[in-house]
Structure 1
Amino acid sequence: MKLNWRKQFFRIHRITGLIAGAILLLLSISGSILVFSDEIDHALEANAYHVTPGTQKQPLAQLLLHAKQSLPGKTPYLFFVRLPQAPDESAIIRAEYAADYKVYLFMNPYTGQVVHQHANKGYFTGFVLYLHFTLLSGKTGVKIMLITGILLFLSVLTGIWVYRGAIGKVLTFRVKLEWGNRTRRWRNLHRIIGVWALLFNALIAFTGIMLQLKVLDARKTTPKEYVEVPVKVDYDQLLAKAEAQIPGFRVMGIRPPKKAGDPIRFLGHAHEAAIWGTYSSSVNFDAGTGLVKKTVNFSQAAFGDKFAACIAPLHFGNYGGIALKILYSLLALTPGILSVSGFLIWYRRKFIIKTHQF
């Protein structure tokens, strides 16, 4: 018997879409929100991000000490997520207790006062982000989301095969919506949205899988209790030294050593393209001597490093202006729309048409 490849691909396309459907709807809504996470955060918590400028900023080591003293219980790993980039900006420090529990402290760089703090799930977009990657279920949720991403990618690939004959017709507007036709409305809607969102959904599925693998890797083992590593050098002196290592280098964050032997990492950018992120270039220093151990000028990075760096920006759409974000936000809804329309097509064929045949 000759194998009907189109039928087999259609079956895989239908099954993967139906299995992942409900979660894809959730991912679509949460992903559409997360495109504007920065704008939402600054609108909801404006007082956390801005301070009244003073005359003299406190030393960076002193800010870390104030952050440590403000947190009860065991000492977490502390690092600067974002240094102030303007006189009225807060310094943001992250305290890492575990993969699923982090605390963000917004500090006045002039007084050392903690002006605001919240846990990674204690603010709106943080909750949505945690939901998006873990289903609020830790490692189990991460695995479910990883499988969903793989199913979406398979659905896109099989969809290319199934609808290959319609791609040209859709892109040249020869396939009409026909909303008044009960037989064709959902099928045509599914086809039109699926074709126009084809490349985007393939991109989102692939980058989502890569990010989920990183999230899963962070939860492979239960982390040991953090032991603070002594730092014998001055962060402020190293900051000036780091910015002199790479032409145009702007330090955005600082990571102290997490374990003995680790360097102090100054992360930022030298005005590279936004698609590589804002922490792509770096200068590493020895925590004991302050000597430069490694310098990464990302404009000269290898293809593999650039590929890895663009995964998150490509997934979240935060590498362009507001027009790109609006486009991303709208396209992010398409997996959910496709899952609903795909379900309705399946339901109609499975139950309504069969029922009317008897």
Structure 2
Amino acid sequence: MKIQWSKQFFRIHRITGLIAGLMLLLLSITGSMLVFSDEIDHALYANAYHVTPEASPKPLRELMQQAQQALPGNPYVAFVRLPQASDESTVLRAEYAADHKVYIFLNPYTGKILQQYSNTDHLTGYVLYLHFSLLSGKTGATIVLIAAIGLFLSILTGIFIYRNAIGKVLTFRVKLEWHNRTRRWRNLHRILGVWALLFNLLIVITGFMMELKVLDARRNTKISYAGTPFSGDYEALLVKAKASIPGFEIMGVRPPRKAGDPIRIMGHAQESAFFGEYASSVFIDASGNIKKTVNFSKASFGDRFNACIAPLHFGNYGGILLKICYSLLALTPGVLSVSGFLIWYRRKFIIKVHNRI
């Protein structure tokens, strides 16, 4: 009975690995690149991120108007990053639809547009869209979600199949044996699979949860992507928001999506940098009354769990050494899919043909 169960687990492991193989290779390569998305963007568009400091910046309302005048139609526009230093630009995002967003970099002192691109016509945006939806919206996102399920099943069955080898691999008793044509791919598959086991479980679980959010954004037709006029004084609201949470550093501003909605001012305070720069928020209505504050240093476990999903998936919560480790480990599902295919191909064709001869 035990042998029969082992065969079934091996069959599931092989089938899920082969079906998801090409997708895993693609997701591995794109995921490895996205670990360094910030560094890539700053290198490719250095002139968009930095400006020459001047006496005083323009009011945010004027910057918003200049951005809106440069955009066709009437999209929803928000400040996604306010300058944190005197030589930084102001970044806005215009939202036309779930799959169509435009980023505008402005000189905060003059209002001059330094750079403008959509979410898919610059390198990291294109790679991100490819990674989560294969450049084909809801259909592509569904395919990626199925691939994630395949990887999860492959990992679980792999744990069962190689359960007796886990200790040997971790104590370096399993050698690569690259010179041995019979064992090289099998041992590589086993060694990489064991060492990357926890990482790949982490990536597939967080990726699965993020993909559900991607699909929900494309299914939820109630989200408004049209701009709503806002005549309030941004600077006065920022002062009020900053005073409402001790140590609050403001990073972005989201105007109301529809009449009556509050403005949302986002940033960070006493919470760990692990949760990102936008974890805390202050909601203020058009009359300047604070409707709600979200001090993330006092957040519930559920809120903390949701906030850590993206950082854990992309590895952007640490320094360059952590990113290098993430980037290399992100390649392991692709390498495992290739080595698994070669193991299957050898058993299916080469060994059978040799035995016939």
TM-score under structure 2 length normalisation: 0.97
Shift of 1:228: 3.3
Partner of 2:349: 351
Partner of 2:38: 38
Q: Distance in 1 between matches of 2:123 and 2:167?
A: 41
Matches within 5 A, 1:140-289: 140-222=139-221, 226-286=225-285, 288-289=286-287
Partner of 1:22: 22
Tell me, yes or no, if the aligned pair for 2:106 and 2:112 is still in contact at 8 Å.
Answer: yes
Q: Distance in 2 between matches of 1:228 and 1:221?
A: 18
Q: Distance in 1 between matches of 2:170 and 2:253?
A: 47
Do residues 12 (structure 1) and 12 (structure 2) align? yes
Shift of 1:241: 1.1
Q: Percent identity?
A: 71
Q: Specify the SS of the correspondent of 2:23.
A: helix
Partner of 1:50: 50
Shift of 1:224: 7.5
Amino acid of the residue matched to residue 42 of structure 2? H
Q: Distance in 2 between matches of 1:133 and 1:2?
A: 39
Tell me, yes or no, if the aligned pair for 2:76 and 2:228 is still in contact at 8 Å.
Answer: no
Deviations, residues 128-158 of structure 1 (Å, cap 9, x unaligned): 1111111111111111011111111111111
Distance 1:227 1:174, change over 3 A: closer
Tell me, yes or no, if the aligned pair for 2:50 and 2:88 is still in contact at 8 Å.
Answer: yes
Q: Distance in 2 between matches of 1:64 and 1:57?
A: 13
- Aligned partner of 1:342 among 337, 340, 349: 340
Do residues 322 (structure 1) and 320 (structure 2) align? yes
List gaps (5 residues or longer) in structure 1: none
Partner of 2:330: 332
Amino acid of the residue matched to residue 338 of structure 1? L
Partner of 1:311: 309
Tell me, yes or no, if the aligned pair for 1:232 and 1:289 is still in contact at 8 Å.
Answer: no
CA root-mean-square deviation: 1.4
Q: Distance in 2 between matches of 1:224 and 1:328?
A: 34
Q: Distance in 2 between matches of 1:114 and 1:81?
A: 15
Distance 1:282 1:224, change over 3 A: closer
Distance 1:4 1:65, change over 3 A: same
Distance 1:225 1:310, change over 3 A: closer
Q: Distance in 2 between matches of 1:224 and 1:159?
A: 41
Matches within 5 A, 1:21-100: 21-72=21-72, 74-100=73-99
Q: Distance in 2 between matches of 1:319 and 1:228?
A: 32
Moved segments of 4+, more than 3 Å: 221-228
Q: Distance in 2 between matches of 1:230 and 1:8?
A: 61
TM-score under structure 1 length normalisation: 0.97
Tell me, yes or no, if the aligned pair for 2:133 and 2:141 is still in contact at 8 Å.
Answer: yes
Amino acid of the residue matched to residue 277 of structure 1? G
Tell me, yes or no, if the aligned pair for 1:98 and 1:223 is still in contact at 8 Å.
Answer: no
Q: Distance in 2 between matches of 1:263 and 1:8?
A: 56
- Aligned partner of 2:295 among 297, 313, 319: 297
Tell me, yes or no, if the aligned pair for 2:82 and 2:251 is still in contact at 8 Å.
Answer: yes
Q: Specify the SS of the correspondent of 2:230.
A: coil
Q: Distance in 2 between matches of 1:8 and 1:237?
A: 65
Tell me, yes or no, if the aligned pair for 2:57 and 2:109 is still in contact at 8 Å.
Answer: yes
Q: Distance in 2 between matches of 1:67 and 1:153?
A: 44
Tell me, yes or no, if the aligned pair for 2:185 and 2:339 is still in contact at 8 Å.
Answer: yes
Shift of 1:230: 3.5
Shift of 1:274: 2.1
Tell me, yes or no, if the aligned pair for 2:51 and 2:87 is still in contact at 8 Å.
Answer: yes
Moved more, 89-98 or 230-239: 230-239
